[in-house]
Amino acid sequence: MSRIAHAFAQARSSHRSAFVAYLCAGDPDLETSVAACRTLVENGVDILELGVPFSDPLADGLTNQLAAQRALASGMNTSKVFELVRRVREFSEVPIVFYTYYNLVFANGVDAYIKLAKAAGVDGMLTLDLPPEEAGEVLAAGKKHGVETVFIVAPTTPDERISKIAASTTGFIYYVSREGVTGVRDQVAANIPEALARIKARTNLPVVVGFGISTRAQVTQVAALADGVVVGSALVNAIRDNLGSADKIYAQLKAVTVDLVAGTKRSA
């Protein structure tokens, strides 16, 4: 069983939804980022989603754009992102999924990049701007090197396309609960139950929900329906709000993570 499949199986056996935590790799610098990942892992995160810093992150709201900017300004590059993964692997077997853009994969050679990702300890690849129809090289390299694929379903995705997306996915389906970009929202999108029903009618893969989930109450609401809940901006904000003190970053990350993870427990 893969690390990703094991994480979802463990969550199900504990009557909860898996907690998927997003951080931008290298925000605000490599050393702090390694310690931030350790903080998340030690406080209940089931899957670590690492944003690969990119100069044009078109799916990201301002919070994650600025995180990528901080990481790039600190000198993060492809080799340092892989170094970060290797260092996380020194203390944890938590599944690691790259949240990335196709240019970063393509520019390094698709097969070579995914081979290096696997060697570093990456379990899955979510390439946001890569549709399944154009993902042949990524799918082949993922199968060859044992890196699972994650694809996105949006609120506007028609049923027949959900089936096509599911056929190209080996890890889990990521349901983007809102049109637009990442970021904190006051309320969870109202259409999640119907959307999950449409997706689950077409795949047996786990389905996670992200974009706009930032509070424990919102996590609880989504956890009752989905196999996993993704939170990003609320965690990235813990870094942004404490840039002058690494200790304060870790303390706030711990407090936020513990609170949000508690929301994944299901009542039945």
Give 10-residue mean pLDDT values along the chain (268 residues).
97 98 98 98 98 86 91 97 98 98 96 98 97 96 98 94 97 83 56 94 97 92 96 95 97 98 89
CB count, 10 Å around CB of 89?
A: 14
∠ CA 119-182-35, nearest 5°, is 45
Point out the catalytic residue in the list 49, 123, 148, 227: 49
Instruction: Answer whether residue 268 is part of any domain.
Output: no
pLDDT at 159: 94
Point out the catalytic residue in the list 46, 60, 148, 227: 60
**Is 123 a catalytic site residue?**
no
What is the model's pTM? 0.95
Question: Which domain, by its residues, includes 179?
Answer: 3-262
pLDDT at 61: 78
Question: 192-200 and 159-168 helices cross at what angle (nearest 10)?
Answer: 60
Please tell me the distance from the alpha carbon of residue 15 to that of residue 223, in angstroms, as a whole number: 10
pLDDT at 183: 45
Taking CA atoms, 22 is separated from 15, 163, 231, in Å, by 22, 26, 6
CATH number at residue 257: 3.20.20.70
Residue whose C-alpha is closest to residue 29's, from 62, 72, 61: 72
Instruction: Answer whether residue 83 is part of any domain.
Output: yes
Instruction: Answer whether residue 267 is part of any domain.
Output: no
Please tell me the distance from the alpha carbon of residue 234 to that of residue 183, in angstroms, as a whole number: 8
Number of domains the chain is built from: 1
**Is 133 a catalytic site residue?**
no
Instruction: Answer whether residue 95 is part of any domain.
Output: yes
Residue whose C-alpha is closest to residue 190's, from 214, 222, 234, 154: 222
Rg (CA), the chain: 17
